[in-house]
Amino acid sequence: MNAHRIRAVLAGSHEAIVVLDSERRVVAASDTAARALGDAEPGRRIAEEQAAAHPDLLVLFLESAPELSAYQELRAGFTAAVSHELRTPLARLMVLLESATLPGSDIGELTDQARQEVEQVRELIDDMLFLGELETGREVVSLGRTRAQPIVEEVVASFAERANHAEVSIEVRADADVELPLRPRMLRVVLENLLANAIRYAGQATTCVVEVSANADGSQLSVSDDGKGVDALDLPRLFERFYRGDQARTSRGTGLGLAIVKHVVTAAGGEVEATSERGQGLTVRARFPAAG
């Protein structure tokens, strides 16, 4: 049954019924369901929590049972990965607390290290929640267009101290007239994650270049560095949640930054790619189609 026929059937129903696709986007909804949800326009995502808030709401899915099983398997895998990622800083925190009880221990130093572990957990939880909001559609990515240069300058300035500490210099090459199809907040999210990634992994005495440009085909934002680069085996997996290459496993990143970048860019109708050669730096480039 196609979407048109489903809507025609629901139009005459007095029950609160909403039909969702495999990504929990509305295919059709009865008038009663639309009033309960407040907004049930086709294409809008309905989170599990939102549906659960309406006990009388009947939620139907178009996908088959195998697809539902695959979704549940993916969700279980994500939960397991999150649990694993949380265990590491919590285990280190426990060791630090136990060390603080030993005679002659440096309480001040151990407290500072413990604070870093707590901050790591906080960042991981924040990133997980934000990625969840993106995936359920509760966080709007694209709403009009934003002139990129002022946001780029602002974000780069906020990273100046961190970059200096890591001995990474940042250059900006931004066309003042280029607009990107992202809300200002989402543009900041993309830039902050890309800059943090470059500063964390490029290495000392390197240069990071933030570039914004446009042509007849569209616009693009890229962040590149001339640092260590990424192994060919790691490159295709950079945008996976929690994935870390060999050199990244010793870092304190959450492993979600590039996954967030990819989700924001693709949600705005763009595409993102990473190119690198070992020892010749990494470039992450987000491309957006020309405005219609």
| Cβ(141)–Cβ(186) below 8 Å | yes
User: Is-above-0.85 flag for pTM?
Assistant: no
41 vs 136 pLDDT, higher one: 41
Round the average pLDDT of the chain to a whole number and report it: 79
Residue 88 pLDDT class (50, 70, 90 cuts): low
| Residue 269, pLDDT score | 87
Cα 210 to Cα 284: distance, rounded to the nearest angstrom:
10
pLDDT digits (tens, 9 = 90+) for 103-142: 888 888 888 888 877 776 776 666 666 666 666 555 456 5
pLDDT digits (tens, 9 = 90+) for 213-231: 999 899 999 999 999 888 8
Q: Which CATH number fits domain 72-136: 1.10.287, 1.10.540, 1.10.4160, 1.20.1740?
A: 1.10.287
What's the CATH number for 146-289? 3.30.565.10
Nearest to 263 by CA among 179, 193, 199, 216: 193
Q: Average pLDDT, stretch 81-92?
A: 65
| Residue 127, pLDDT score | 61
Cα 180 to its chain centre, rounded Å, is 18
60: which strand partners? 19
Cα 70 to Cα 118: distance, rounded to the nearest angstrom:
34
Cα 56 to Cα 17: distance, rounded to the nearest angstrom:
9
Largest CA distance in the chain: 77
Q: Average pLDDT, stretch 179-192?
A: 88
Q: Domain coordinates of the chain in residue numbers?
A: 3-61, 72-136, 146-289
Q: Which helix (H) or strand (E) holds 83?
A: helix 65-99
| Residue 53, pLDDT score | 78
| Residue 92, pLDDT score | 76
240 vs 64 pLDDT, higher one: 240
276: which strand partners? 282
Nearest to 265 by CA among 280, 283, 287: 287
| Residue 273, pLDDT score | 94
| Residue 106, pLDDT score | 87
Comparing 19-28, 54-63, 189-198, 206-215, the range with the smallest average pLDDT is 54-63
